[in-house]
């Protein structure tokens, strides 16, 4: 595995695509457009992501959107192709797939305090999905033509008029690489989001 491939996989949280074995979310929980969702997976690369974060609860994030009346999750993810040759990109999947207990061991849902802004952010995320925006392997949030997972969330909310995080970026140092990026913990600590569900093993 090359350094760049490792970095891309790290951003995905080390999850491997599989059929849902059951969801970590309770059946009674109803997701709303704009909810920011988090998961932590079981693989080595997921542990490396959480090791790099100051608050290592989660390794990946997405945003809930309304797709023809159905709650779906849009997220920027590498290494989870839907078909041969599928590029790393912004994807949409069901909550059951995103939170499948086959690979996810921790989960959280944070809801925006401003529901209207959340709906606007969800619409932006849906636009990025429909446009087939590619995953940002350079982890450069100054350029939003490509997006990594937390960058998608902060960009969508920025377009909706809300700054979820400040200008501080987390430094990730790995052999041959140096990145300044937004970590999942920065989103979980945002004052504009409130926790409505959290599960840790």
Q: What is the pLDDT of residue 115?
A: 98
| Total-model pTM | 0.86
For residue 14, pLDDT beyond 80: no
Q: What is the pLDDT of residues 162-190, one digit of tens each?
A: 999 998 786 666 555 556 789 899 999 99
Residue 23: helix, strand or coil by DSSP? strand
Q: Are 88 and 79 spatial neighbours (Cβ–Cβ below 8 Å)?
A: yes
pLDDT bin (cut points 50, 70, 90) of residue 97 is: very high
Element (H, E) at 12: helix 3-12
Query: Domain ranges in the chain?
Result: 3-13+21-199
Q: What is the pLDDT of residues 152-165, one digit of tens each?
A: 999 999 999 999 99
CB atoms < 10 A from the CB of 196, how many?
14
Give domain 3-13+21-199's CATH architecture. Alpha-Beta Complex (3.90)
For 16, phi then psi, to 5°, come to: -115, 135
């Amino acid at each position: 595995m090359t350094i760049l491939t490792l970095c891309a996989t790290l951003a995905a949280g080390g999850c491997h695509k599989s059929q849902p074995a059951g969801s970590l979310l309770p059946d009674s929980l109803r997701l709303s457009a704009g909810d920011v969702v988090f998961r932590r997976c079981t693989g080595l690369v997921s542990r490396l992501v959480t090791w790099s974060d100051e608050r290592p609860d989660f390794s990946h994030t997405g945003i809930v959107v309304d797709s023809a009346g159905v709650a779906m999750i849009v997220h920027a993810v590498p290494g989870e192709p839907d078909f041969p040759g599928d590029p790393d990109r912004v994807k949409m999947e069901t909550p059951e797939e995103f939170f499948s207990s086959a690979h996810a061991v921790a989960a959280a849902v944070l809801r925006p305090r401003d529901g209207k802004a959340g709906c606007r952010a969800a619409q932006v995320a849906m636009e990025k999905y429909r446009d087939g925006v590619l995953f940002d392997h350079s982890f450069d949030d100054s350029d939003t033509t490509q997006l990594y997972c937390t960058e998608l969330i902060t960009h969508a909310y920025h377009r909706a008029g809300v700054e979820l995080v400040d200008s501080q970026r987390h430094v990730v140092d790995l052999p041959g690489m140096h990145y300044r990026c937004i970590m999942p913990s920065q989103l979980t600590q945002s004052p504009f989001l409130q926790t409505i569900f959290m599960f840790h093993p």
